[in-house]
Every structure is written in structure tokens, then in C-alpha cells.
Structure 1
């Protein structure tokens, strides 16, 4: 696999970087000067006249190579923009092996595309130092985002994960601003520039370039300390923000110090740095970034105000903080050898992030949330032909960004949960601890992890996990009933339901989690542990009750006979939340793929009218919403499905009400937000009336407390749907004036519920104005794309504005562009639209978002096939059950 990689020559390896950033232009073109001295080990017996490094959009002014034999200056620099490289030509052959120092002077610009060394705009609060970079309306902070391959945008380097080194950083900044980096400040030196000084940081441990970080701005912080001691000291933990926001960092802070201690104990390796800083960054392409010792976050992933934030963001902050802290061990201390094994970082950090939150908040039912969010979302992408294996070949840096997706994160974590459940949590975590201790400060492979887990468990982990990691897709287990026994058959699950023989050759090891008994309450786990062949028969199965894949710990779909599905629906009160989510999710997926039927799904969920659990309702609403979306082109079916869903939700919506009593559980609050939003948008009269009453009180200024922060999205969305342009304008004004950290995101998502093409175009024009940050441009677009009334306008806008707005605005950061296209276009269920999209992008340079286009095409065509196959059956069921004439 290594031979397929386009990597730097292996004979030059860095051991230490001295990075100095100086002469920053705080405004205008935001240029800066830099010097980097790289201690490099050279091992080339036949000599060399060139050295190759990674750079992107930097100008190298000079390069000098010092060896024990003397020094050589580069005579020429040639740039390969496509491969992100600069070649230093020394003009003569250098015969040398050993340690050398390569010093480069270079120039760059602090960009605004959320990659490399970049600037974020924000509206200041309170007194602001004169030196803060600003324009007419906004002030700026500076920070870095180097993963996956953007350290090369900030300074010339050997930018590959297995070329680890230590780093010393110096930043020249105005005396009234703050500079941060991975390590604590070592000293401050005077600068030649008036009003400036240079902040020098302690050297880092050995680490990959993508984990280096620095930031400059008008920062303040809140601080706490770990309860455990590290090298005899309680570690300082800080949350940094721009001025005026630090108090909103307290919730993250409280979680942070507890999690650092918890992970240090769990992994049996102490957190190795002398501090933990969390920094809120105003513009951020991802959720957060695990830079060692200086973790950066999108503001909504680290800041939370109990008075003004929706409660769902409390859950988000807690989880994202835990996820990034997990990386301090899994990714930073031990790093994947190459990007093909990205899942070692992301899959594990996702699972262990939830593991920590379950420890801190046992009443949140974290694993139920994991099953309805992570597992089901992973299924969605992995059910396409255009999915990829968890461990996937990656040729070079620019290719890696597209695998920061639901396979690496969510399928990876789902498979880890499956393995942990099989081995037992204690044994699994011991294996993980052994892996970390053995490979700390170096790089590792998937096989290294399997070896550690095999040793800890006494089982050959590789033999049953290899296909899960290295093969594409997942199975569906179809159950056939006979007296006293069941037949099981595994095949690859495809959303289109048409796996060809050559696509269905994998035989997965499938943990069955089979329970059977006289009744659900008397059930016990069946002794048959796993399905290891294409088909088998299992005896001693009680017909009164049996269930496959208890708690959905296995990463596969189950396809029951219709009568069994009905019986499980009847026994729903005794099923766990995870069981209910799994059964509903499987029934939905099997209906789309043609292994089951939509009639069976509708009959099943109809039984759940008395359901009380938020996470189960979230699964029902998501699945029925997709069914409605697919059939939205047939008005009679669409109207009848709407009637069905409204009847299903109404009793629970009326029961949960609008008020948030003191001491109510987090999950009940989330249930209220989910049900009122969905029912209000379906037209539930009492919900619509109450939402509009509260909207008028809030927008008029008569009563700003009329809307609970957790119900802003409910009220704003219903108002936009019912009131049209006047509500849209009011929400747009709210977006421009809100001081709530989550306010902009909530406003954009609410705008997506407009009902006319004209208003949809206004929403999109606003989204692509400079009033909306690049990170948020997909938020409203997602909802517009989900909104059948105006969905075609999203596609019209993309093709009509590709060259003038969309590509120029988003192509600087292809992660953002790919996400925008995928969320904007994958909700159609029409082959004609898929053809149009394919024709539009044919001949364009789609590198960086080509996989996203493949996913869009596959999703649309699979849903079109489903619509064509099941429309008659759905219409018949809806008529038979009184939802249409």
C-alpha cells in the first residue's frame, strides 16, 4: 500500500523545527514573514542537489543548508502547486549524510478560508485594545487549522503524519494581545517593532506537523485545575475566548478537567503536557481540532450559556470536549502511520468521547443517542456503492480530506463499540492501554491495535475484525422462521437493494446478540455467539420471543419476517431504547432497499403512538420524514403521509406541552423541542397557534422571555413556514443582531422552512452574502434541501451561481464545498435530476469533492428506485388505513 502513496523522498527526515512568525500585517493583505530552521537527518549515500518540502501558497525567499562540512544556499525554487511542494535546487551536488539544519525565510498571508494560518471575524464586546485587527464592522482573531495537510500553508515543512518532530514556536505580536501555542510560554523578548514583543514557547514533545497550533488575539480565559496530580502538580485547564465571552466557557471547563483525569486513569497513561488550553474560534470549518495542548473549537462546540443557549448545545459541548481530549492520547500520543488509517484517530475518539460522557452524565442515555445518531448515520453512507472501507488507500494529502466522513468517524466508532461489547469493556480498555504504552510518541497501524487487543483478550481479534475494517459495506441478516429454529442468511446491504454477486463476496463475522425465551422479560442470551458463514440454522429458539442484535451492538441490519416484526412492535414496552431504535431503523432501511416494505414500517411505527422516549421519537421522525421526502412528488401520497405522521405525533406533542419545569430531565426537554418542531411544521393547530403567539411577543420586544432558548428553532421555523416573507425578514434581523452563541445557526436553519421559490432564492442569496460566515453557509441549505416545497431551488441556485458565487466563495476550502454540495443535493429522488447533476459537473475539475458527487448520485438513484417500486404499495396501505380516499 505504501508504494501507492505520493510522499516526500524518504532520505530526509526532520527532528526539530524552530518556527518564527513575525512582521505580521494586522490589516490590509494580512501578510507575514516567517523563518523556519529544520534539523534534518539526511541519509543519501550518492549525494543530492535538490531537497523537496511541502508548501502551499507560500513564497520562499531563501533556503540555506548547514552541515558539518559547511553551508549551501539554494539557487532556485520551483513550485508544484498541484502536489503542494517546493523543490530547493542547490545548483551543485552535495555529498553528505548526517544531521543538517535547513533554514528557510518565507512569506505568507493569513487567509480567510479556515485552513492553515487564518483569520476569523467577530463583533467585539467591551473595551478592545487598539492593536486588534479590524475593518468597519468586524474585528479579527488569528488561529491555525493544520489537519489534515495545511501546516504547509503556514510554513514550509515535511507535512506527513509519520514524519514526527519537536517544535519551538516564536510569535511577534502587539504587546496588548495574547499569543497561544501547544506549550506554555517560555519567555518574552523585545521586538524591533514599536509596541510589539516576541513570545517564545517551550518546545513540544515529538509530534506530527498537523498537531502544531498557534493563535493570536484579544483573549481572556476561565481556569480550573485537574484533581489528579501530574509530575507533582495539578494541571491548569483553561478555556480561552475573545473578550466578553469567557463565562460561557465554564461548562466546557468543568467537563475538561474531569475528563483529563478520567482518561489518564482509563488509558493508564498520564496526560503528558503541562497544560490544557481550549480556544473558541469564531470561524471554523470542522467542529473542533485536537492540537496537542491547544485544542481549537467552533464557538457552538465549546461555549454554552445556560440562560440563552438551547439545551441541545450542552450535550454537544460536553461530547466535543471529550472527543478532542481523547485525541490527546489516541492520535497525538500515538498517531496513525498514514492517512489511510485515519479511523484509528477518529473512530476511537468518537467511541471513547461517548464513553466519557456516559460516565459524567449517566441520565443522558448516551448509548441510545449513539445508536440513533452515530450508528444510523454510518449505515446511511455505508449502504451506498460509493462508500469506502474504514481503512482506505490514500494517495496524497489533498485526497485525505474526503475521508473525514461518517465512515472514518461513525462506522469506525460503531465497529469499536461492537468489538468492546464482544471482548468486554474491561478487557478492551486494557488492550487499548497496552497499545498506547507500547507506541507512545510514535506511529502505529490497525494491526498494532489488533495485536494489543488479541494479547489482552486471548482471542485472534484480526481474524474477526479484518473484514469490518478493510472491506466496504456491511451485512443485512435475513431471518427465516421454522418451528423451534431460525435460519439466518447474511448478504451485503445496499440501499438500492441490488448487490451483484461480485459485490457480495464478503463473509462478515457477525455477533448475533440473540435473545430468546418464553417472554421478553424471561429472555436470556442464546449460546450461539456469532454468524461466521453465509447461511446457518440455529436451534432451540423459542417462538414466543426472540430478538437478534440486542441493543444494536452489532453493525448490521436485521430483516425479520413481517409477523415477527409485528410481534416485536407489540412487545415494545419491554424493549430497551436501543432495541426500539434498531428495530425501527432496520424496518425503514429494509423498506427502502426492498428487503422489507414501507407498509410494514408504517404499521410498526403506528404502534409507537404512546412512546415516551425522546431518542425513539427522534428515530421515528427521521425515518418517516425521509419516506415523506421520497414520495413528496406525488401530492396525494405526500398529503396522506403528512396526515399519518400528524396523527402519530399529536398525543405525545399535546402531553409534553411548552413549559420546562424545574428539575426536568435533559431528555424530556429534548423530546419537547423535537415534538413541537415537527408537529408545528406538520400543521398541528394548537402548536402553530402557540408558536405564532410567542413569536409575536418575542419579535415585537414585548416579552423576550416568551421563547425558551430550546424552543427558538420551533417558534422561528413555524413562523417562517406560516408567515412567509415578514417572518423571514424578522429572523434575518435576529441573525444579524443576536448575541447568543447558537443564535445564528438556529436562525439559518429556521429560514430553510420558507414555502415559495422566491423566498428560497432570498434565503440562498442571504446565505451567500458576506453577512454569513463560510462555516455556516450549509446550515440553511440543509433545511431548504429537506424542504420538498423549495428543494428544486437549491439545485437551480447551484447551477446558476456556480461560477459567480459558489465556487469562488467555497473552493478555497474543499471540505466546506463538498459538504455544501452533499447536503444541498442528496435529498432528490429523481433519476432526471441525478442526470442533470452528472452532466453539469462532467468535465469540471472536481478533485476534492468528487467522492461527494458520487455519494449524491448514488443516494438520489437509490431513492428514485425506492419511490418507483413502493409508491403503489404505500398508496394502497394509506387508503386501507383511512389516510386517503
Structure 2
């Protein structure tokens, strides 16, 4: 092997792993670990060197056993830049030979990535437990390995730990007992100086063939809730150590894929400090907020999020774990499909949530908005350096990926689509794949050339904007020619709605004959990943008429109108007219879409008091009548849609400073504090009550409260301290989130400064929570930007190995909108090493440029529209 000519980013495949025997000892008292690994490898080429990954570990001298002979390398060198160790030998190993590489290693247990630590407080004492977060390249921080997704192997894990703790891994344990050091020269440190009976060893069954990034193990004083699920395909019964949702989802996924879950058990470990969750095979690890829900106190919105994310991670057990992307450029295959499945499973479990329509106002809209920027990227993007994968963990990879798959499912039909997915999983089971493999499978089950149709959609940035005219029109365009499924909706004079999914636009201009008495709209149910401009008022009216009765179509029109106004392809007045026109719609999803778009306008004009008050007036006009109609109570047996409309209406009215709504919420809270059992707060209203109202708070242990005071938003010291007490002491993840929202809502300068002083002393999850809510508060937004700049180096050291680091820290800048803001942001980032986050930085700067132009162009439009609307007597 010519070491000088090695690829800087990909391991040589002269030797590839077959099986790992991994033994790790965890010391929770000292927060260190050590271990041994014996890796069975096969030589694919003659070579004198073995190269594998390792990073931030101390290594002992390695050895290789081949044909019964133990060999010591002539050189053992570590390159920290490439995160590799190279073992060199005097004589070559021959092609086809198998050998065992044996190594010892030790290291510290860090936070966030690799083999990480979490902490919890028990009887006033801080205790620790550990878990793993190996995606994308952090397994090498825990043990030497071939740390690339295509270099799959089987793993037999043994964990040594202090007596009284629990060990977990991907597979079930087949043995646990006192640890006695083996007569093995690799293991003398394990038993040295330790009292008998102080350590236990847990041995786990070997895994199927899998990638390193989904290997998992954990150690700590764990407790669990156990249930069982029965395979829908084979009646096999497996233990599931987390609530009943998992037992419902796994059989559904088996039936959808026609492929049995292949492992003997499924665990979900909740770990403080983890940002999000990771789909480790058989041992998902994630933040408690992601998985834990109390039906007595949890809000409906919290439950929706937990169902979606749990379904997402469980879908990965097939799409990502059974079949894994060949390399990180196809990460979207894993994440896009799991995101789509999260929505599909949520919809099947809770059809009353209308998840399909909610997607139009969620992931679909977010993806279109980001992909309209020049700094966006294709869903399948070159990623030679796996250490830059974190830059790809964004809206495009997850949400555009899922939106494109949703589009394919729509024009193929769900049954052929799922049959193709099943075929794809079976053909590549326990192996790796690229996007073309999925297109081939879908094509074979649908008799459609999916590969050719989807080529530009995954390899090009952006999407088409279709212009519907009553006469030919030519305009500027880029060079990409898209094949677009038009999914044409027509509504005839009798009110009959028809959808034609057979029409594909494959030329720049195409004539489609329509009956003169028909209304028409493109993109039925908003499944196609594109925007539509209707060139005349008549065509706009036709589209509006065709959309009525279908909430996804209504949302598509509204979201397109908003986005086209921002892009200067339509007037903002069109979108505002749709909001008022749709405001009488009874469906929650439509009202949520209106609210989201009003919020986006508030975000744009957050430093213009006049326009902010106009927008609050629009909020009150739409939502206060709903509060008056629906009230504040949640009677048993009412429909889910009614309940969520009430929650939305109260939130919007209160945040718009409606006096009657605020007064009722204050009275409710006063009664609650006087007698909690007699006057409980509705769980769905707790967040807004915590945020905007209070009176006569009782004194928690940290505080001396006397007299009445305003809520946290209005600057109450007692309320602020009370919310911090909840934040620090509650055991309920949802309540912690509500308290963080309240703390971040403070508008008093002294309290805001105190929050910033406290942030970096909090745990990682809370830092992210607080930065998010402080960025969302207009009064603290600029302070958050300055805090980020002042503490950038500390935040980068703490969070840069976290998946999604860039999205967490992009938040403070995204609503800046002046030339001075832009220049200062450019100057700031010039002083920082942004090599790993170049795309994120460019997206941030482009967003500020767009904001500047949008506000400059549309401020006269929005003021003119509201002046007309106000004089009509419709404002409140």
C-alpha cells in the first residue's frame, strides 16, 4: 500500500472488517473508560498496512493474529487530521486471508458525541450515566474501527461496569455476572487494584451486519417500563422497554414494508443532554422531551411531536439500519424517508390530526422556503469529508427529501410506492444502497421510469415555478428542465372535482385544454415540490374555487402567495386577502396556516411598531371570535379539531394582547393557585398561561412572594424566579419546555440580562432551549445576537460535534433585516473559522439580504392594504 497516495477522506479497502469483539469498561466515578477490541478482517488486496479510524483515544500496542501467528506492527502511527491509525508490517498480507486485529484503548467520557455522559440529580446528589451518539463519525472516539457506513460488520459487545448499574446495547444480554479478569494480556488493567465484587460484566448477543454509527451501548442506574410487541408477520413476541406507542408502530412498519423487524428487542433510552435522537438499532437514544409524554398534563401539540419523532426513529430500523446509504451524500435517503414515514404513521394512528394537510404547512413549506435561496443545495450533495456531514443535517436533507418522496408516492400511488420500497429493502437487506437503487425498485413495481423523472429533483438545487396563463408567455429561466407531475384539479359547473395525475410537464411551455366552464388548480393536495403563479385575477379566482373543500389545496395557495410575494413574483396583498378570505374556515389546519403566515409577517416587520399592531389586529379579527365561541374549557368527548382550534385561538388572541382573553387567563390562573385540585389548568393552555399571565404566585422555596404582580412577559421578578425554579426542579420534560418559554418571554432588561448570565451554566439541552426562545422574543433578539457573538468560541467548542449545530446557532441571525446588520454579520464571520459551516454561513447572509429587500419592497404594500382593511371597519 502506498500510504502517501491514500484518499484523505475514505479508508482504503485493502482490508475490511467482518466482526468486532468489543469489550469496554466504564467507570462512572472517574468518568473514564477503557477497552479491548478484536476485529476479524479479510484482505481484499495484498497489503503491508492496515488503516482504520481512531480519534481522541490513547492506544496500546496493537497486534495481528493470522494463521495462528501473532504479529507486532513495525510501526503504529496516528494521524489526528485524518483521524486514522496505520499499522505497518514488514511482509504483505495476501488477498483472501483473514486475520484478527487486537487493540487496547482508553479515554475520557465527554459530552454530546461519541461515548458521552449525562447527568441527573438524585436526592440532591449529581449522578452520571453514559450512552453513545456515533453518527456520523464518532464511533472512532469510543473504539478503533472502520468508521464508514458501507464497511459493515457484526458486533459482539461486552460491557464491564460497577456493581449496581445496568448495561444496555443493541442486542439482548445472554450473560451477566461478577467480572473476573481474563487470562488475556490485553486485559490486565481491567482488574488491577479493584476489590472483588466491585465490577460486573454483561455479554450481549452478536448483532446482524451493520454500520458503526448505529452501534450503541450505555451504562447507568437505569429503570425501565416494559411491554411486548407481537410481529404482524410471524407472531414473534419481543420486549419493548418504553411505552405503548412503540408496540403499535413496529407492527405497522412490518406490514408496510412486508419485512419483519430483525432484532430480538427494542429499547429507547432517554438521556439528558442529547440533542434530538439517534436511531441506533435496537437501542434508540434521545432527549426525554423527544419521547416522554404524560397524558394527564401533556398538551396535544407535545403528543403530536412525540408520535412523529418516535415513528421517524422506528422507521429508521428498516430504512437506514437494515439498508444503509452507501456514503453520506445519500443521507437524504435515510432521513427523507424516515421523515415521510413519521408523517404517514402519525396519520394512520391519529387520522383526526389530518397529518397529510399539516405537512403542507410544515415540512413541505419549510423545504420550499429554504430551497428558494441561492445558498441551498441539492438533496443529494457531494460530501467527500464525513466530518462535514453536520452541515447537511438541515431542512433540505430531511424535509425536501421527504417532500420529494411524498411527490413520488402521490403520482405512483401509495400501493405501488410501498411495494417498491419493500422490494428495495429486501434486495439490499443488511447492505448499502444509493438513490438509483430505490428508483429502480419503484420503477419495477409501477412500470414508470422513476429514475429519469427524479434525476434533476435530487441532483439540482431549487424547484420550478409554474406560470399559468391564458395566452403564451415567455420569461427568464435557468437551464434546468424539470419533469413536473402537474396533478391537475378541475371543478366543473356542477361542483364535481376531478384530479388528473397523468399529465407531466416536460417542456418549458405546454398547452393543456380545459373546458371553459371549469375552475382549475395545479398541484392537487400540494404534493408536487413546486410553486404556481396564476397570471390573472380570473385564474386566481379559478384556483381559489377549485381549492375550496380541500385544506391541503387551500394551504398550498396561501403558502405559495406568501412565498411569491417575498420573491417579488406577486403582490403581498394577494396573500393577505387569502388570509381574511380563509379566516372563516372551520378546519384547524387552515387556521394554523393563517396563523403561521401572520407570524412570518410579524417576524419580518418585528421592528416596525405600526405594522406589528396592524398584524395583531388581524390576529384578533380572526381568532377572538373563535375564543368567544369555543371558550376555555375542554369538555370530554369533543372532537380533536375543536380542541386544537380552541388552543390555537386562545394562543393567538393572548399573544395579540386581546384584553378580554388575557383577563380570563389571569382569572383562571389565580383560581388555580388558590386551589389546584378544584381549578386545574387545561394542559393545552399551560404554555400560553405561563408566558403571558400571572397573579399572586405562591412562594417556591427560592422566593419570597408578596402581593400581586404582572406575568413574566411584563417583567415580574417573582414570576421570573418562580419559572426558573420550575425549570430547574421539574421532572416533566413538557413543563420544563413551558418554563423555558416563560423565562425567555421576559421583557424587563434586568431579567433578560440575568437570563443571558445564566445560560452557559445550564445543561446542553437547556442552552439550546433558551437561545431559541430568546431569539423568538423581539425584545431580546438583538441581545441574543450579541450574546452569540461574544460567546461564539465557547458555544462552538461545546456544540460543534452535535448534529444540527448550525441550525441551533443560525436562529439569532435569521430575522436581522438592515444593511448595518448584514455588514456587521459579514465582518464577524470573517474573524471565525467557518470551514465546516460555510453553507450555513452563506444561507444566513442570504437570508438577511432577502429580508432587507422584502421589507423595503413590501412595506408600502402592507401599509396600504391595512389602511384599506381598517377603513372597512374590520380591524379589532
TM-score (normalizing by structure 1): 0.90
CA distance in 2: counterparts of 1:510 and 1:342, whole angstroms: 24
Q: CA deviation at 1:488?
A: 8.3
Q: CA deviation at 1:842?
A: 0.9
Which of the numbers 8, 12, 17 marks the counterpart of 2:11? 8
In structure 2, the CA distance between the partners of 1:63 and 1:667, relative to structure 1 (3 Å rule), is farther
Q: Which residue of 2 aligns with 1:784?
A: 774
Which of the numbers 679, 695, 699 marks the counterpart of 2:653? 679
Q: Deviations over 1:21-44 (max 9, x none)?
A: 01x32224x111110111111233
CA distance in 2: counterparts of 1:569 and 1:232, whole angstroms: 50
Q: Is the 8 A contact 2:534 2:540 kept in 1?
A: no
After TM superposition, list the pairs within 5 Å mapping 1:479-498 onto structure 2.
Answer: 479-481=468-470
Q: Is the 8 A contact 1:611 1:652 kept in 2?
A: no
After TM superposition, list the pairs within 5 Å mapping 1:1-150 onto structure 2.
Answer: 6-22=9-25, 24-28=26-30, 30-45=31-46, 47-48=47-48, 50-68=49-67, 70-74=69-73, 76-90=75-89, 92-97=90-95, 98-112=97-111, 114-124=112-122, 137-150=125-138
SS at match of 2:815: coil
CA distance in 1: counterparts of 2:758 and 2:57, whole angstroms: 33
* 2:414 is the alignment partner of 1:425: yes
Q: Which residue of 2 aligns with 1:131?
A: none
CA distance in 1: counterparts of 2:360 and 2:633, whole angstroms: 28
SS at match of 1:138: strand
CA distance in 2: counterparts of 1:637 and 1:762, whole angstroms: 30
SS at match of 1:332: coil
CA distance in 1: counterparts of 2:615 and 2:742, whole angstroms: 23
Q: Which residue of 2 aligns with 1:158?
A: 146
CA distance in 2: counterparts of 1:479 and 1:757, whole angstroms: 51
Q: Which residue of 1 aligns with 2:330?
A: 341
CA distance in 1: counterparts of 2:713 and 2:824, whole angstroms: 29
Which of the numbers 266, 281, 298 marks the counterpart of 2:287? 298
Q: Deviations over 1:105-159 (max 9, x none)?
A: 00022212x211111112348xxxxxxxxxx642222111111111111111100
SS at match of 2:632: coil
Q: Which residue of 1 aligns with 2:705?
A: none
CA distance in 1: counterparts of 2:448 and 2:544, whole angstroms: 39
More moved, 398-407 vs 692-701: 692-701
Q: Deviations over 1:186-216 (max 9, x none)?
A: 2124314433210000000000001110111
Q: CA RMSD in A?
A: 2.5
CA distance in 2: counterparts of 1:867 and 1:651, whole angstroms: 30
Q: Is the 8 A contact 1:40 1:100 kept in 2?
A: yes
Q: Is the 8 A contact 2:583 2:591 kept in 1?
A: no
CA distance in 1: counterparts of 2:678 and 2:757, whole angstroms: 29
CA distance in 1: counterparts of 2:234 and 2:498, whole angstroms: 48
* 2:424 is the alignment partner of 1:435: yes
Q: CA deviation at 1:339?
A: 0.6
CA distance in 2: counterparts of 1:79 and 1:701, whole angstroms: 65
Q: Deviations over 1:522-563 (max 9, x none)?
A: 122247612112222221244552111111011111122462
CA distance in 1: counterparts of 2:320 and 2:670, whole angstroms: 50
Which of the numbers 797, 808, 832 marks the counterpart of 2:820? 832
Q: Deviations over 1:808-838 (max 9, x none)?
A: 4434x35354233212211122232122112
Q: CA deviation at 1:470?
A: 0.9
Q: Is the 8 A contact 1:122 1:140 kept in 2?
A: yes
Q: Which residue of 1 aligns with 2:210?
A: 207
Q: Which residue of 2 aligns with 1:496?
A: none
Q: Is the 8 A contact 1:512 1:531 kept in 2?
A: yes
In structure 2, the CA distance between the partners of 1:311 and 1:644, relative to structure 1 (3 Å rule), is closer
SS at match of 1:610: coil
CA distance in 2: counterparts of 1:32 and 1:314, whole angstroms: 37
More moved, 401-410 vs 4-13: 4-13
Q: Which residue of 2 aligns with 1:261?
A: 251
Q: Is the 8 A contact 1:479 1:488 kept in 2?
A: no
After TM superposition, list the pairs within 5 Å mapping 1:637-648 onto structure 2.
Answer: 637-648=611-622
After TM superposition, list the pairs within 5 Å mapping 1:790-809 onto structure 2.
Answer: 790-803=780-793, 805-809=794-798
CA distance in 2: counterparts of 1:850 and 1:182, whole angstroms: 36
Q: Is the 8 A contact 2:489 2:546 kept in 1?
A: no
Which of the numbers 479, 486, 492 marks the counterpart of 1:505? 479
More moved, 303-312 vs 150-159: 303-312
Q: Is the 8 A contact 1:162 1:336 kept in 2?
A: yes
Q: Is the 8 A contact 1:695 1:716 kept in 2?
A: no
Q: Is the 8 A contact 1:281 1:298 kept in 2?
A: yes
Q: Is the 8 A contact 1:319 1:353 kept in 2?
A: yes
Q: Which residue of 1 aligns with 2:366?
A: 377
After TM superposition, list the pairs within 5 Å mapping 1:218-617 onto structure 2.
Answer: 218-228=221-231, 233-239=236-242, 250=243, 254-286=244-276, 288-481=277-470, 504-519=478-493, 521-526=495-500, 529-542=503-516, 544-561=518-535, 563-564=537-538, 567=541, 571=545, 574-617=548-591
In structure 2, the CA distance between the partners of 1:762 and 1:480, relative to structure 1 (3 Å rule), is farther
CA distance in 2: counterparts of 1:394 and 1:648, whole angstroms: 47
* 2:719 is the alignment partner of 1:727: yes
In structure 2, the CA distance between the partners of 1:324 and 1:520, relative to structure 1 (3 Å rule), is farther
In structure 2, the CA distance between the partners of 1:808 and 1:87, relative to structure 1 (3 Å rule), is same
In structure 2, the CA distance between the partners of 1:95 and 1:306, relative to structure 1 (3 Å rule), is closer
Q: Which residue of 1 aligns with 2:186?
A: none
After TM superposition, list the pairs within 5 Å mapping 1:648-663 onto structure 2.
Answer: 648-663=622-637
* 2:857 is the alignment partner of 1:869: yes
In structure 2, the CA distance between the partners of 1:318 and 1:169, relative to structure 1 (3 Å rule), is same
TM-score (normalizing by structure 2): 0.91
Q: Which residue of 2 aligns with 1:132?
A: none
CA distance in 2: counterparts of 1:215 and 1:701, whole angstroms: 43
CA distance in 2: counterparts of 1:755 and 1:635, whole angstroms: 16
Q: Deviations over 1:402-422 (max 9, x none)?
A: 212211111111111111111
In structure 2, the CA distance between the partners of 1:815 and 1:291, relative to structure 1 (3 Å rule), is closer
In structure 2, the CA distance between the partners of 1:409 and 1:86, relative to structure 1 (3 Å rule), is same
More moved, 322-331 vs 62-71: 62-71
Q: Deviations over 1:354-408 (max 9, x none)?
A: 2222222222211012221110111122111111111111112211122122111
What is the total number of aligned residue pairs between the two structures?
A: 834
CA distance in 2: counterparts of 1:105 and 1:610, whole angstroms: 68
Q: Which residue of 1 aligns with 2:695?
A: none
In structure 2, the CA distance between the partners of 1:613 and 1:750, relative to structure 1 (3 Å rule), is farther
The unaligned stretches of length 5 or more in structure 2 are 1-5, 181-193, 693-710
Q: CA deviation at 1:185?
A: 0.6
Q: Is the 8 A contact 1:175 1:195 kept in 2?
A: yes
CA distance in 1: counterparts of 2:660 and 2:401, whole angstroms: 43
Q: CA deviation at 1:698?
A: 4.9
Q: Is the 8 A contact 1:335 1:444 kept in 2?
A: yes
Q: Which residue of 2 aligns with 1:715?
A: 689
Q: CA deviation at 1:509?
A: 1.5
In structure 2, the CA distance between the partners of 1:667 and 1:657, relative to structure 1 (3 Å rule), is same
CA distance in 2: counterparts of 1:561 and 1:763, whole angstroms: 50
Q: Is the 8 A contact 1:761 1:797 kept in 2?
A: no
SS at match of 1:263: helix
Q: CA deviation at 1:740?
A: 1.6
In structure 2, the CA distance between the partners of 1:750 and 1:529, relative to structure 1 (3 Å rule), is farther
In structure 2, the CA distance between the partners of 1:565 and 1:784, relative to structure 1 (3 Å rule), is farther
CA distance in 2: counterparts of 1:390 and 1:607, whole angstroms: 36
Q: Is the 8 A contact 1:309 1:741 kept in 2?
A: no
CA distance in 1: counterparts of 2:827 and 2:814, whole angstroms: 16
Q: Is the 8 A contact 1:697 1:703 kept in 2?
A: no
Q: Which residue of 2 aligns with 1:244?
A: none
